[in-house]
Amino acid sequence: TGSATHILKPLMSPPTRDEILCTLLDL
Amino acid sequence: RQDLNFGQVVADILCEFLEVAIHLILYVREVYPSGIFQKRKKYNVPVQMSCHPELNQYIQDTLHCMKPLIEKNDAEKVVVVIMDKEHRPVERFVFEISQPTLLSIRCVHVDVCFCFCCCSSDSLLSHVEQLLRAFILKISVCDAVLNNNPPGCSFSVLVHTREAATRSMEKVQVIKDFPWIVADEQEVHMKEPRLIPLKTMTSDIVKVRKLLAAER
């Protein structure tokens, strides 16, 4: 019917805490 | 002013609010190091917003894709989920969104024009600003009622939408190269969550019905 609820999310994940810490260290 | 698209105005206001809210949740719930956040002023209150380009871009892309759904009143809920290292949800911030009905949109549209033309637009905007400020303040202090999260958490943003609206999301995918997928059951549901109602807000032009925090 088109009325059912879909729960969507982005396929890509946000940067992780560790990734962000690494970029901060690079700076 | 007659060309003012009510759905777009509401979507703009809500997306801007959600952007501020997501940044603040990530700061308050310590998902990212506090060093990447800077104090800014939004809705006339101090908030913490990330200054990390990659994270900011991710949040902007997410909201950009969500905006057409909000414009068409197809987004029922926007949920910010905090997940542990095993990607199990430990906390959810649920924004239940509802716009006025089509009839009231028309009425409100007239009201908005009336406000803009005959009164000062400042009073209307200041009313909305007051309401959104109350939400932001609730988020700022929500850690007082929530347990600490385990270290190494990440987050995800989920949108509850009607099945038929998924097509418009697919359209956006082509444009933005930011694909969306149906969320896994384990990312959505929490076992016996503790629900904490944080705030409900209604205004003639924007309705964010409920802000709930749920924790495992």
Predicted ipTM of the assembly: 0.88
Across the interface, which of B33, B159, B181 has its CB nearest the CB of A11?
A: B181
Find residue B199's DSSP bridge partners: B211
Task: Identify which of B187, B196, B86 has the alpha carbon closest to the alpha carbon of residue B147.
Answer: B196
C-alpha gyration radius of chain A: 17
Higher pLDDT, B199 or B80: B80
Q: How far is A1 from chain B (nearest CA, A)?
A: 8
Chain B residues with CB under 8 Å of A15 CB are 52, 54-55, 58
Give me the pLDDT at residue B190, please: 73
Query: Crossing angle for the helix pair B6-28 and B53-71, nearest 10 degrees?
Result: 140
Residue B1 tokens, joined? 């002013």
Residue B207 tokens, joined? 């309705």
Alpha carbon of B113 to those of B7, B119, B205, B206: distances in Å? 14, 9, 12, 15
Q: Does A16 touch chain B (CB under 8 A)?
A: yes
Q: Report the range of poorest mean pLDDT among B36-45, B77-86, B123-132, B176-185.
A: B123-132
| Mean pLDDT, residues B148-159 | 92
Q: Does A17 touch chain B (CB under 8 A)?
A: yes
Alpha carbon of B51 to those of B33, B48, B197: distances in Å? 11, 9, 30
Q: What is the DSSP letter of A11?
A: S
Q: Report the range of poorest mean pLDDT among B112-116, B120-124, B175-179.
A: B112-116
Q: How far is A25 from chain B (nearest CA, A)?
A: 12
> How many C-beta atoms lie closer than 10 Å to residue B42's C-beta?
19
Q: How far is A6 from chain B (nearest CA, A)?
A: 5
For residues B65 and B59, the answer to whether their CB atoms sit within 8 Å is no
Which ranges of chain B does DSSP label H, i.e. alpha helix? 6-28, 53-71, 102-117, 121-140, 166-176, 185-188
Higher pLDDT, B11 or A3: B11
For residues B165 and B69, the answer to whether their CB atoms sit within 8 Å is yes
Grade residue B49 by pLDDT with cuts at 50, 70 and 90: very high
Find residue B99's DSSP bridge partners: none
User: What does the pLDDT look like over A5-22, one tens digit per residue?
Assistant: 889 999 999 999 999 988
Across the interface, which of B32, B61, B162 has its CB nearest the CB of A17?
A: B32
